[in-house]
Chains A and B, each alone.
Chain A
Amino acid sequence: MSIVFDQVSYTYGPNAPYQALNQVSCTIELGSFSGIIGHTGSGKSTFLEHINGLKTPSSGKVLINGLDTSNKEDKKDIRKLVGFVAQNPEHQLFAETVFDDIAFGPLHTGAKEEELTSIVEKSLRRLEVEPTAELLASSPFDLSGGQQRRIALAGILAMEPQILAMDEPLAGLDPQGRQQVLKLCQKLNNEGITIVMISHSMDEIAEVADHIIVMNKGELIEHGRVEKIFSEPEKLKRLGLDIPEASKYYFELKKRGVDLGDFVYTLDQLADAIAAYKVGGVDGI
């Protein structure tokens, strides 16, 4: 059970100057949390759009749990399996009430009327939003940006996806909102949802992802565990990509003669390693 890209190429029309995806192959295990990094134009959004069949390969194959995104009969099942979170998903809110917006998907894919209330409430609770009668009856457009984003996410969760393909789900939120949504993504992953997320922030990816896919000019350059990808800053730098702040401190301290031991890539790991080094240093004397 996994997401498989097998020699996937994608071209925007016969006269496109380059291939948006060029012979991309990889396997993403279910239950994992993968970050996709790469410059604008690297093909990362096109890659993501192949996961739910929004785009299908010009050549090659994408298999979701064995279902082929190019196969019309499989498409319906794939759309159910994969929730697609577009950039600024709140721009797709449309209904008059929060309830109607979240219930729209299930209602149109065969959920019974009497189930809708429990589906809507459950989806909101998964995002740590209390489904009060007042909220459900309010217009999504009267809510703050951060709340709107959660309502949009709840609409996607209402379809009970097993995989979430997310295109910069934190963009445009303030730091508090970013932290909250990031924690929610982690929580959903802990609940078993496979997440594939595009992000510009190496620090945010470092906090939540276990794997990273590096894209450049339509090609998959690397795919590996977070600690492996971020421990090779030179490779990333050549692609114009950065490493997390914590890792920069790790390397800089090493240069200055302070070797913290195992590689670190989050703030907490770095602070723990520095504290341990200090204790170890004192013990050494």
Chain B
Amino acid sequence: MSILNCREINFSYEDKERVLDNLSLSLEPGSYTVILGHNGSGKSTLARHINALLLPDSGSVEVFGLSTSSEDNWLEIRRNAGMVFQYPDDQMVTSVVRDDIAFGPENLGIPRDEIIERVEAAIEAVEMQDFADADPSDLSGGQKQRIAIAGILAMRPKLIIFDEAGAMLDPQGRQDLSDRMKSLNEQGYTIIHITHFIEDALEASRVLVLDEGKILYDGSPQEVFEHSDHLKELGLDAPFSINLISALKARGIDLRVTLGQDELIDQLVEVL
């Protein structure tokens, strides 16, 4: 059974243009999906449909088999589909890291002993034991993002949606975040990562490219990057290797599309 099923959803904010245009999508449990798109492509709007923060104007969204159209399902859906946003500050509510992580489960009415257990496990999972009693406002952007993730983990969700969660981090922070997603995925969490950094897509099992509210490409990273020229036209920047391949093509040197530096160097050494 799929963990997410969007059927022909349409959505617009007030009376403006359609942000999601007859979009259908289904995701398998345990998958690691990257949704790529430039600002305004509809990717964050789609994310907000997954945990019922937004409802489609027409069409249906089912998460874990539960329809978002029924208000009775919202709590169950949100408990199981956690979301990490771009600005972790917006998700911090208390002045102690540990309390902040406990906030979600407390609102679910979970018994105190279990909350404590969940909070400790979540802090450990994001390796922030040394900061459990710190004030979140004293932490770096990357550390705050880890606390936001811990807060989600403490809810024991099945699915975690990262909505541009790395956009304000430095490259090292983004790499750490990406590694964390991979490891969470290996532990069984279904991961959806919404981003405009193409490098983020390299680790995914499936890549979707969104443009004007429609799915333009859907496949493995390798398959999607075959369309790198088009991706660039859409305002997405391809990994350096792909850009180099097209720059060389323009100079009369034809190479196979490869994603990593090592494979491209091998090819170059062969050709030169």
Contact = CB atoms under 8 A, between A and B. Distances in A.
Interface of A: 40, 144-146, 171-179, 200-201, 203, 240, 242, 245-246, 248-249, 252-253, 256-258, 267-268, 270-272, 274-275, 277-278, 281
Contact of A253 (B39, B235, B247, B269): B269
Contacts of B171: 200-201, 242
Contacts of B170: 40, 200
Given A246-B240, A275-B252, 5 more contacts: A171-B168, A242-B171, A249-B265, A271-B244, A274-B251
A38 to B, nearest CB: 11
Contact of A172 (B40, B168, B253, B269): B168
A285 to B, nearest CB: 12
B98 to A, nearest CB: 24
Given A40-B170, A171-B168, A275 B253 contact: yes
A256 B247 contact: no
Interface string B236-272: 1100100110011011110000000100110011011
A203 B253 CA distance: 23
Given A258-B269, A274-B272, A172 B235 contact: no
Interface string B176-207: 00000000000000000000111000000000
Contacts of B40: 144
Nearest to A177: B39
Contact of A146 (B39, B250, B251): B39
Contacts of A281: 272
Contact of B268 (A40, A171, A176, A274): A274
Contacts of B248: 271, 274-275
Contacts of B156: none
Contacts of A246: 240, 244
Interface of B: 38-40, 86, 140, 167-168, 170-172, 196-198, 235-237, 240, 243-244, 247-248, 250-253, 261, 264-265, 268-269, 271-272
B251 A271 contact: yes
B253 A249 contact: no
Contacts of A176: 38, 235-237
Given A200-B170, A242-B171, A252-B261, A267 B269 contact: no
Contacts of A271: 244, 247-248, 250-251
Contacts of A253: 265, 268-269, 272
Nearest to B252: A275
A175 B168 contact: no
A135 to B, nearest CB: 17
A174 B171 CA distance: 14
Given A245-B240, A248-B261, A258 B39 contact: no
Given A174-B39, A258-B272, A278-B272, A249 B244 contact: yes
A268 B39 contact: no
B140 A40 contact: yes
Question: Which are the 9 A-B pairs with shortest beta-carbon distances?
Answer: A176-B235, A175-B237, A271-B247, A245-B240, A275-B251, A174-B196, A200-B170, A174-B39, A256-B269
Contacts of A40: 140, 170
A267 B196 CA distance: 20
B252 A257 contact: no
A258 B265 CA distance: 10
Contacts of B264: 249
B39 A267 contact: no
B265 A256 contact: yes
A271 B243 CA distance: 10
A277 B235 contact: no
Contacts of B272: 253, 258, 274, 277-278, 281
29 contacts: A146-B39, A171-B167, A172-B167, A173-B39, A174-B39, A174-B235, A175-B196, A175-B198, A175-B235, A176-B236, A200-B170, A200-B171, A245-B240, A246-B244, A249-B264, A253-B269, A257-B269, A258-B272, A267-B240, A270-B244, A270-B247, A271-B244, A272-B251, A274-B268, A274-B272, A275-B252, A278-B271, A278-B272, A281-B272
Nearest to A240: B172
Contacts of B252: 275
A67 B269 CA distance: 55
Given A258-B272, A274-B268, A278-B271, A267 B237 contact: no
Given A267-B244, A271-B244, A249 B235 contact: no
B136 to A, nearest CB: 16
